[in-house]
Amino acid sequence: MTTPALLPLSGRRLPPLNLGASAFPHHRATLRLSEKFILLLILSAFITLCFGAFFFLPDSSKHKRFDLGLEDVLIPHVDTSKGDKNLGGFLIHGQGHDEHRHREEEERLRNKIRADHEKALEEAKEKLKKSRDEIQAEIQTEKNKVVQELKKKDSKPLPPVPLPNLIGINSGEPADLDIREKRNKIKEMMKHAWDNYRQYGWGHNELKPIARKGHSTNIFGNSQMGATIVDALDTLYIMGLHDEFREGQEWIDKNLDFSVNSEVSVFEVNIRFIGGLLAAYYLSGQEVFKVKAVQLAGKLLPAFNTPTGIPWAMVNLKSGVGRNWGWASAGSSILAEFGTLHMEFVHLSYLTGDPVYYNKVMHIRKLLQKMDRPNGLYPNYLNPRTGRWGQHHTSVGGLGDSFYEYLLKAWLMSDKMDTEARKMYDDAIEAIEKHLIRKSNGGLTFIGEWKNGHLERKMGHLTCFAGGMFALGADGSRDDKAGHYLQLGAEIAHTCHESYDRTTLKLGPEAFKFDGGVEAVAVRQNEKYYILRPEVIETYWYMWRFTHDPKYRQWGWEAAQAIDKYCRVSGGFSGVKDVYSSSPTYDDVQQSFFLAETLKYLYLLFSNDDLLPLDNWVFNTEAHPLPVLHLANTTLSGNPAYR
Ligand code: DMJ
């Protein structure tokens, strides 16, 4: 520090100050009290001056910002010829009239800052005027944009794969006027279901057609994954509802996001979402469906991280943590769930060239092959930690059904090359016929359930799909029992038709008995509901394709009329709680499988066989058609060079 501040105002040089007790002790005695007082006064004036200077000097940091923003005022050049002064590397143009400019600039800036503040305030006020939903929607849109951007960066392009021969995706128009009208009626029902979902449930998983709002169940987790959109796509496509298809595609492209903290059913997500997306991809050729299917499959893979490789029933899409249903026997996984992944997973490996999916399902198969089966039957429960069966309960309906279906379809989908799958199917069906299939006193063939060595004479609506499966598996059956299996299919179709015909609404109950004088009728109140399920109509369609017996179209039409009469409401279609009641109450749910399966099978029933011919297409358990893969010259070991 320089000394000027030490100069007394009078100019007289003062002796050094003694500010500390021991400083310059030899001077202490020389100062008198009055002098001390004057000195103190001067000192305090000096301190006040320094203080003031510190606060009132211009803030250099502000200057810096200002300088850097205004290059016409401060320029990093020295040009003394114009009388400019250099200030720390920057130049201030000729001080005099530039001071005026400087002030103007400051004023301009101040006004700008004020205007910006006012604008921000206005925007905030506008935001507050919006409803919560609108604000949330805006936030969601912003989030989606960020997610999409990230995904674009992450996603590697999938390898190009020659598509299998896609035959019969735009055909099927019947020549017969009556049949054409029926087909059109089914299309109209699809429009009604879709339009109402579009209006009241868009983006939600399903629709509540009476409350006219979105609906979901725990199988889809807690997020809006648009299950109805994905499930309905291929039905829309084959019906020629292309505008609706495009709407669905757009939603999927922009909104279907799997990075959500949501615990979903691996099985349901596989059959409805992956199956639906793959079918939509094959039919339309739109890449987005393939990309989404592969993204989703990646999210399901952590479910296989169990000690045995048998997947958990549920997985959290974000954390990858899996677990099983609380109600399943001894912490088991369910046969119909871990056994219904094969078709989709083989297609995923085919399309991506990545063997990971194929290996997962083949591992399950190998494990099952090694296990002992009581009476040759597969129990419905298998513990993924121990690899042991849970309760010995075998069913061709719920908990078991599509496992058998996928053995047969694995063989068909491989162009009949996967003979291992065919053998497993044949063995399983032989045991089922021996232990579970019986004739009632009234002559109705039914498939019961095996529970700990005892046959329960009850059949579920779900079990009715087996009629179609037997017919589909007839060709290629062991010992050339094709006729036998076609006959078995026809008998199951007949029994299931009876279960519809013996109700007031002509719609089938959830489960029906063959016991104590009861034949194909539900006994318990909680088994009398119909939730728009497809299985009976599915069997009619397969039987129609293999026999062309007109009774199947007749039965299908009866079911379609009953659905239209009793399940149709102005906001869509609803399940009914009691098919034996003349004034049924609604369950207020339009299931996604109604659009994926029930209406699709009805439409196919009234179409010519050249629409999705069974030699070229295999339907997954949610009725999503996947093309037969001609794998003879292809390996699924993941080497894309083979494609
Ligand atoms: C569908 O989701 C599938 O068909 C599944 O295999 C079992 N049944 C429902 C519809 O009833």
- pLDDT for position 12: 29
Exposure of 359 in the CB half-sphere (CA atoms within 13 A):
9
**Minimal-distance CA residue to ligand 1 atom 8:** 462
Mean pLDDT of 233-256: 98
For 56, other C-beta atoms within 10 Å of its C-beta total 7
String of DSSP letters for 416-477? T--HHHHHHHHHHHHHHHHHTEEE-TTS-EEE-EEETTEEE-EEEGGGGHHHHHHHHHHTT-
In testing the pocket of ligand 1, which one of 217, 274, 337, 462 has its CB within 8 Å of the most ligand atoms? 462
What is the average per-residue pLDDT within 283-305? Answer: 98
Please write the tens of the pLDDT for every residue from 349-373: 999 999 999 999 999 999 999 999 9
Categorize the per-residue pLDDT at 145 as very low, low, confident or very high, splitting at 50, 70 and 90: low
Q: Report the C-alpha gap between 447 and 429 in whole angstroms.
A: 11
Mean pLDDT, residues 589-593 taken together? 98
**What percentage of the chain carries pLDDT values higher than 90?**
71
129 or 524: which carries more pLDDT confidence?
524
CA-closest candidate to residue 240, choices 603, 619, 626: 603
The residue to mutate among 228, 274, 621, 624, having the most atoms of ligand 1 within 8 angstroms of its beta carbon, is 621
Residue 466 has pLDDT above 60, yes or no: yes
pLDDT in tens, 1-12: 333 333 333 332
Task: Work out the pLDDT band at 69, boundaries 50, 70, 90.
Answer: very low
Residue in 402, 356, 341, 392 with CA at minimum distance from that of residue 371: 392
Distance of alpha carbon 523 from the chain centroid:
38
Whether 268 contacts 220, CB under 8 Å: yes
- Mean pLDDT (the chain, rounded): 85
Least confident among 102-111, 468-477, 553-562:
102-111
Please confirm, yes or no, whether 535 is among the known catalytic residues. Answer: yes
Residue 268 alpha carbon to ligand 1 centre in Å: 9
Nearest C-alpha neighbor of 564 from the set 487, 636, 506: 506
Q: What is the DSSP letter of 631?
A: G
Choosing from 244, 268, 354, 449, which is the catalytic residue? 268
**What was the pLDDT predicted at 105?**
82
The pairing of strands 617-619 and 625-627 is antiparallel
Mean pLDDT to the nearest integer, 433-447: 98
Question: pLDDT tens digit string along 250-279?
Answer: 999 999 999 999 999 999 999 999 999 999
Of 90, 7, 2, nearest in space to 42 by CA: 7
The rounded percent of the chain whose pLDDT value lies above 70 is 78
The Cα 595–Cα 509 span in angstroms is 20
Q: Count Cβ atoms below 10 Å from residue 68 Cβ, excluding itself.
A: 10
Task: Give the mean model confidence (pLDDT) for residues 103-122.
Answer: 81
Closest residue by Cα to atom 10, ligand 1, is 533
Fill in the DSSP letter of residue 565.
Answer: I
With H, G, I as helix, E, B as strand and everything else as coil, classify residue 214: strand
Q: Where are the beta strands (DSSP E) in 584-629?
A: 617-619, 625-627
Range 570-577 average pLDDT: 98
CB atoms closer than 10 angstroms to residue 623: 25
Q: Which of 437, 302, 310 lies closest to 367, judged by CA? A: 310
pLDDT for residue 45: 53
Q: HEC string of 66-86?
A: HHHHCCCCEECCCCHHHCCEE
73 pLDDT more than 70: no
Residue 535 alpha carbon, nearest atom of ligand 1: 11
Domains of the chain: 177-627 (1.50.10.10)
Q: Give yes or no for residue 527 having a pLDDT over 70.
A: yes
- Centre of ligand 1 to C-alpha 304, Å, is 22
Task: Pull the structure tokens for residue 304.
Answer: 């296989």
Give the number of residues written for the chain: 643
DSSP string, 135-188: HHHHHHHHHHHHHHHHHHHHPPPPPP-PPP---SSS----SSHHHHHHHHHHHH
C-alpha 339 – ligand 1 centre gap (Å): 14
Ligand 1: distance of its center to the CA of 621 in Å? 6
pLDDT of residue 139 exceeding 80, the answer is no
Looking at residue 143, its pLDDT comes to 64
Tell whether residue 48 is among the known ligand binding residues. Answer: no
Strand residues in 449-553 grouped as ranges (E): 449-451, 454-456, 458-460, 511-515, 518-521
- What confidence category does residue 379 fall into, taking pLDDT thresholds of 50, 70 and 90? very high
Residue nearest to atom 11 of ligand 1 (CA): 533
Tell me if residue 401 is catalytic: yes
* Cα–Cα nearest to 214, from 224, 229, 223, 204: 204
* Amino acid 156: pLDDT: 64
Q: Which of the pair, 135 or 250, is modelled with greater confidence?
A: 250
Q: List the structure tokens of 465.
A: 């799909």
Q: Which of 354, 401, 405, 418 is catalytic?
A: 401
pLDDT of 563 strictly over 90: yes
Query: From ligand 1's centre to the CA of 271, what distance in Å?
Result: 9
CA 461 to ligand 1: nearest atom: 11
Choose among 508, 535, 515, 513: nearest CA to 524. Answer: 513
Q: Give the per-residue pLDDT at 133.
A: 61
What's the average model confidence in pLDDT over 162-190? 94
Residue 337 annotated in active site: no
Q: Over 60: is that where the pLDDT of 35 sits?
A: no
Q: Which of 510, 578, 587, 597 is catalytic?
A: 510
- Lowest mean pLDDT of 194-203, 532-541, 601-610, 626-635, name the range: 626-635
Q: Which is nearest to 307 in space by CA: 371, 359, 385?
A: 385
Residues of 497-527 as b/e, b for ≥16 C-beta within 10 angstroms? bbbbebbebbbbbbbbbbeeebbbbbeeeeb
Query: Which one of 337, 426, 535, 538 is the catalytic residue?
Result: 535
593: CA distance to ligand 1 center in Å?
A: 7
Atom from ligand 1 closest to the CA of residue 538: 4
CA-to-CA distance for 366 and 399, rounded, in angstroms?
A: 20
Atom of ligand 1 nearest to the CA of 398: 7
pLDDT of amino acid 591: 98
Q: Is the pLDDT of residue 500 over 60?
A: yes
Dist CA 168 CA 611 (whole Å): 5
**C-alpha to C-alpha distance for 551 and 542, rounded to whole angstroms:** 13
Q: Return the ligand 1 atom nearest residue 591 CA.
A: 10
pLDDT at 114: 83
Q: Is residue 634 very low, low, confident or very high in pLDDT (cuts 50, 70, 90)?
A: low
Copy the structure tokens of residue 308.
């045995």
Q: Whose CA is nearest to atom 6 of ligand 1?
A: 621
Ligand 1 interacting residues, C-beta cut-off 6 A:
402, 462, 533-534, 593, 597, 621-622
Mean pLDDT of 633-638: 50
CB within 8 Å of 101: residues ≥ 6 apart: 73, 93
User: 96-100, 167-171, 341-345, 537-541: which has the minimum mean pLDDT?
Assistant: 96-100
> The tokens of 232 are what?
């309905």
Q: What is the Å distance from ligand 1's center to 456 Cα?
A: 22
Mean pLDDT of 438-449: 98
Please tell me the distance from the alpha carbon of residue 242 to that of residue 352, in angstroms, as a whole number: 27
Confidence band for 31, pLDDT divided at 50, 70 and 90: very low
| 189, pLDDT greater than 50 | yes
- What mean pLDDT do residues 559-579 have? 98
Q: Give the residue carrying structure tokens 């954390």.
A: 319
